[in-house]
Chains A and B, each alone.
Chain A
Amino acid sequence: MEVEVSGVTVRADATGHDIVRDIGFELARGSVLGVVGESGSGKSTLALALLGFARKGATITGGRVVVDDVDLLALPEKELRRARGSRVAYVPQDPATALNPSLSLATQLTEGLRLPRREALARVRSLLEAVGLPGDDAFLRRRPRQLSGGQQQRVAIAMAVAPGPRLIVLDEPTTGLDVSTQARVLEVVRELCRSRDLAAIYVSHDLAVVAEVADRVLVVYGGEVVEHGSLARAAHPYTRALLAAVPSSTHRHRLVPIPGRAPGIGADRSGCVFAPRCAHAAEECSSRPPLVEVPSGTLARCWRTAEVARSPRPAVVVDAAPPFSGDEILTVSGLNAGYGGRQTLFEVSFGLARGECLALVGESGSGKTTMSRCLVGLHEEQEGKIVFDGQVLAPRRDKDLRRELQYVFQNPYGSLSPQRTVESSLLVPLRHYFGLKGTEARRRAHEALDRVEIPTHLANRYPAELSGGQRQRVAIARALVCRPKLLICDEITSALDVSVQAAVVELLRSLLAEGLSMIFVTHDLAVVRSIADTVTVLNQGRVVEKGTADAVLSSPTHPYTRSLVAATLDVPDTFEHAG
């Protein structure tokens, strides 16, 4: 075994609680271990601890990280620093901040190598070619900002691999990249591990990515390993619940959110960490279960795997709605738009039937954000025609039109005023559109909060006290109190964890069932499949394909859509055989 980790524990200095506890695993040469967990699960802390590093305010209190027969955590600081890079290397999430913007790639890639420049350059060239980038002088003279995000990430990987480490830790390296770019980066990681006999640890929140790249998966929850093995054979109720919450791009199924909230650092750790949210929890779960091998072949930290395995997977496949034949609530024809003279949308046309959900799909730079801004009237430089409910939409529009067309922002952390309580945020539009104040306004606000399943006692909280999913639901409630006819959702689930995303998608689906029309802007084809009736695919500001969701996703005709569908990853489909 190349890498042996046991008992790694990191403690928060301020509270004395463990952020991650008793992490252990083994990893062979040339293989990839996926570490998957939701935000706050401690996966980033774990990733850093594997390099013998803890962020300010945290301390590694115990454990062993043995790489190539050397225990990193037992090394004195000076030797540990030398071991970082040469034995273990790290690739951070955001390559734009990992690379020094003012150094050329040649300087940047060779500075960590203790080799004469000529030899170092030769090694760097071959490495760049290994990660699928040109190794010529012209490329080496470039600076990070002259590269695309995917190229930057591959350079960061090459930089990590250059000194010849035995273990490479990648912390969410493809988050924020487009699916096609992501596919290339994943391929590079796999190929490097195979050809250089490297062990890699791939940390991510995305189950599909981890299932694709990793040989084995470590599922982290509340700072503990709850399952270790293959996702397809998942036995732990948390892993199974996560898988049930992930949408699939191949078929439409009901997404099952996980009730409750992930435990904070100060949570009670005497029993099973997942028990408070577990559907299978029983009395024995008040004592902490060991990580043991279960019949399905994985290691799971659960007392009740036998019962869990017997319970059927709630894989309810939902049929796509019949095609809508009603009148169009929104018709966009020949829309051109741009910023400061640079055109970003070219002759975009599409229509949306009443009660329908249209997904506007595109990668970054496709113009999908400009499109949604044109619809809500934030964009001035536009020509073409947008007809909404029989009226032509101009950037300047009257109150009723604004009310009927509501917009929900991507980032729930910025879309609610931090100085307003939840209730007060909802009272603003009620007063503005309906002139309502006092009891009646409050009643309508509470009604909307009920609709999005925000408990009444949260009405007087500030956004800072809510989780991301709760904030996003409050933002939806703020749109709902306006009694809109059309809701534009701009990537509203992309900042959320899968279990929370599932709850939001199910909420949107129930709103659709009540007759609301919706435009869902996204890059995630799996979410598209789970919610959209029709799809319009944007590429470089042009509509390249449109049709029903099933037709476009199952048998795409345009080469761009085809490549997009091919690059989209899905979680392993079945684990029924696990019982």
Chain B
Amino acid sequence: MSTSVLGRAARTGRARLGVGLLGVVALVVVLGPVFAPHPYDAIVGPPLADPSGAFPLGTDILGRDVLSRLLDGGVNLTWMAVLAAGIGVVLGSLVGLTAAYRGGAVDAVLMRAMDVLLSFPEIIFVLLFVSMLGRSTVLTSALVGVAFVPGVSRVLRGAAIPVVGSDYVLWARVNGLPAGRILLREVLPGVTSPLMVEAGTRLVWAVSAIASLSYLGFGIAPPAADWGLMVGENQDGLSVAPLPVLAPIALILMMALGGNLVAESVARTVGRTEGRV
């Protein structure tokens, strides 16, 4: 079924490039901390030193090793992005599928509520709550996830409406199967393809949203190493030493681009085959 959609998507050049990029980033994130030559928060040299044998990418504005911080700084971003995307997709599917299945007043209320949420730009939405509740990585990821819910729910509601109207779902209703089981076992398998595309896209958006928040100082707190944070910390030294800013940007870009390419190739495969399994 949906695995064959993935299989067909994986054969496209676009998807292979994406998987390659994501693979490189994943290696950096997973193995990086092991290979980091210095502790990420130790001041080991003069600020903004040029690349040298001891510091292959130079040092940052406080004199910490850029390479070590780079190798250490992906973990937080990754788990936060995954958590945010997970929360967004799970809650969004729940809302979207419930709206599609119940229809009528439930549908109207849920979707209007989503419209209200949608009217806040996601960064502003997160900033609003972070400034009220204080800074925490889990809170930030959760808020980013919640900010995704309206978009995900709209897409899944649209995908689920034809499935909910199909005779096999009608059969399950006629036979009085519990609504939860119908949604989970009958409707959900019918929308796996858009769901996968949605999960991929949201993951990419979560990466950029969380990196932006860290850059703005509302995500991961210093002195922790984080790619988004590194861009923010070192931007004043950009004219002297560009590497401490450009290196984390390159990694964020690879992560986002890779995810985007994979999600898009799945979406295109789904579109081309009209979701046929």
Q: Which residues of A contact B (CB under 8 A)?
A: 376-378, 397, 399, 402-403, 407, 409, 411, 414-420, 428-429, 432-433, 462, 464, 478, 482
Give the contacting residue for B177; candidates A378, A411, A432; CB below 8 A. A432
> Which are the 9 A-B pairs with shortest beta-carbon distances?
A419-B189, A415-B167, A414-B167, A417-B168, A409-B167, A402-B176, A376-B174, A414-B166, A402-B175
Give the contacting residue for B175; candidates A409, A429, A464; CB below 8 A. A429
A411 touches B167 (CB 8 A): yes
A522 CB → nearest B CB, Å: 17
B259 CB → nearest A CB, Å: 26
Residues of B within 8 A of A377 (CB): 174
The verdict on B170 contacting chain A, using a C-beta distance below 8 Å, is: yes
B176 touches A418 (CB 8 A): no
A432-B190 CB under 8 A given contacts A414-B168, A416-B168: no
B177-216, CB under 8 A of A: which get 1 and which 0? 1000000011001101000000000000000000000000
Residue of A nearest to B186 (CB): A417
B170 touches A409 (CB 8 A): yes
Residues of B within 8 A of A376 (CB): 174
| Alpha-carbon gap, A181 to B175, bound state (A) | 37
B8 CB → nearest A CB, Å: 16
Residue of A nearest to B173 (CB): A378
Residue of B nearest to A413 (CB): B167
A sample of 20 inter-chain contacts (CB < 8 A) reads A376-B174, A378-B173, A378-B174, A403-B175, A409-B167, A409-B171, A414-B167, A415-B171, A416-B168, A417-B168, A417-B189, A418-B190, A418-B277, A419-B190, A428-B172, A429-B175, A432-B176, A462-B1, A462-B277, A478-B171
Main secondary structure of the interface of A (DSSP, over half): loop
Residues of B within 8 A of A478 (CB): 171
For B172, B176, B277, which residue has the most chain A Cβ atoms within 10 angstroms?
B176
B174 touches A402 (CB 8 A): yes
Residues of B within 8 A of A420 (CB): 189
B167 touches A432 (CB 8 A): no
| Alpha-carbon gap, A419 to B175, bound state (A) | 19
B149-172, CB under 8 A of A: which get 1 and which 0? 000000000000000001110111
A417-B190 CB under 8 A given contacts A378-B170, A409-B167, A409-B170: yes
B149 CB → nearest A CB, Å: 25
Residue of B nearest to A419 (CB): B189
| Alpha-carbon gap, A399 to B186, bound state (A) | 19
A407 touches B277 (CB 8 A): no
| Alpha-carbon gap, A247 to B177, bound state (A) | 37
| Alpha-carbon gap, A202 to B48, bound state (A) | 85
A407 touches B174 (CB 8 A): yes
Residue of A nearest to B181 (CB): A432
Residue of B nearest to A399 (CB): B176
Residues of A within 8 A of B192 (CB): 419
Residue of B nearest to A433 (CB): B175
| Alpha-carbon gap, A417 to B170, bound state (A) | 11
| Alpha-carbon gap, A409 to B175, bound state (A) | 13
B190 touches A428 (CB 8 A): no
| Alpha-carbon gap, A57 to B264, bound state (A) | 28
